[in-house]
Amino acid sequence: MSDNNFSHPNKNKPRFFYGYIIVIAAFIIMLVGYGLYNSFGIFLTPLINEFGWTRATTSGAFSLSMILCGVLGIVVGGLTDKFGSRIVMTACGCFLALGFLLMSQISAAWQLYLFYGIIIGIGISGVWVPLLSTVARWFDKKRSLMTGIVLSGMGLGTLISPLVVSRLISTYDWRMASMILGIVLLVIIVLASQFLRHAPSQKGQTPYSENEAVEQEPPLETKAFSLREASHVRQFWMVFGILFCWGFCAFSVVVHIVPYTIELGIPAVNAANILATIGGISVIGNYVLGHLGDRIGNRRIFIIGFIIWTAILLWLVPSKQLWMLYIFAIIFGFADGGLAASESPIIAWLFGLRSHGLIFGVLGLGFTIGGAVGPIVTGQIFDLTGGYQVAFLVCAAFSIFGLIISSILKPIKANRD
């Protein structure tokens, strides 16, 4: 039986639980890794100005990284099980740093796709699944809370990083900024990764549990599905569609909200603040809507989130003033935080914990494919129409589609129909 199923009493339990070090290290890696990764939109305008590329061409590098991240997320999950999170995260941190360092030397579009789309895509693929899987192994109790704390690092990073990156670009240029960020990534992520331990047994401890010697079981109404079994029920593909819609809308906004704001004649620093606000407020959404999800169910959080997104994306279409964009960023970011906190629990609710990590990784492809398609479609629409209004309406349509699927999603019956 899995080590996570029971927490045994330990009379010699050390006063300090190493799992908290795991959470701190994972938080730091999320903050720096995803914070800088999500700042790609800050580089978009300088790259277009220097090379004359279209928005679709430039956004395509981010889309490629998203696709690669989704596909390799399954691979790095298996590598983590085999070699441990410390080794996997160290290697991925080196790829992230190398990608940003090489970005400073690009002179052609194919180099942007190689350095950002492929090398950085490989690096970022190791941040999500290995870290959250490791935290889950260390905590039986407080698992959702600790996962939320780690995820808040991504939101806080998205709050801080755009401000830092935009100031580096304005002080130096985008090439020097990219080189500095590569060095920062190499030092911080590789160093933090050395504190990771894949399982409590590596420190002579057991998973954290408030009630020791009590068997921890999944809810009786939840069946334990394998990936093969799960893929044969309609709920699997419904969740895939929900996550696709979420990724499409989320990354269309993350990549293009800064260029859109600059197009309105608003200074680049203020435009970066809009993106930073989305990340900062998402931290609040992680906690508030995540806690609410424990009370009313995570399916309802997705319904609420898509309702909010549909309304605020329609608000964005006519928004021309800075205060209107801040309202958008606050509401959009709050809902996004709730969706992020509910992703893993809704998969556990439907398919149980037997193959949760593998199913999580495969369904995560829906999110990453949506995140890859959204920015490039949004950029293509801008290139064809000369504005973002139609693109934002398309995002609202995908949000409505996600709302519909979430509304009709039901638990899987005992016969697994």
Least confident range of 165-179, 221-235, 314-328:
221-235
Output the pTM of the full model. 0.73
Residues 257 and 403 in one domain: yes
Dist CA 21 CA 278 (whole Å): 28
Contact 35, 158 (CB under 8 A): yes
Average pLDDT in the chain: 84
List pLDDT tens digits, range 274-288: 988 888 898 888 878
pLDDT bracket for residue 129 (50, 70, 90): confident
List pLDDT tens digits, range 12-52: 455 688 989 999 999 999 999 998 998 888 898 899 999 99
| Residue in the structure block whose two tokens are 């699927």 | 405
Taking residues 97-106, report their average pLDDT: 94
Contact 298, 64 (CB under 8 A): no
Hey, what are 144's tokens?
């959702």
Residues 61 and 171 in one domain: yes
Whether 205 is in a domain gets the answer no
What pLDDT shows up at residue 39?
A: 85
* CATH code, domain with 58: 1.20.1250.20
Hey, what are 207's tokens?
């998973």
Dist CA 120 CA 34 (whole Å): 11
What pLDDT shows up at residue 14?
A: 54
Give the structural domain span for 232: 223-417
Tally of structural domains, the chain: 2
CA neighbor of 186 nearest in space, from 29, 27, 25, 61:
29
Whether 248 is in a domain gets the answer yes
Dist CA 154 CA 301 (whole Å): 20
Residues 228 and 348 in one domain: yes
Contact 401, 274 (CB under 8 A): no
Taking residues 177-202, report their average pLDDT: 92
DSSP string of 81-132? HHH-HHHHHHHHHHHHHHHHHHHTT--SHHHHIIIIIIIIHHHHTTTHHHHH
Asked whether the predicted pLDDT for residue 152 surpasses 50, the reply is yes
What pLDDT shows up at residue 210?
A: 47
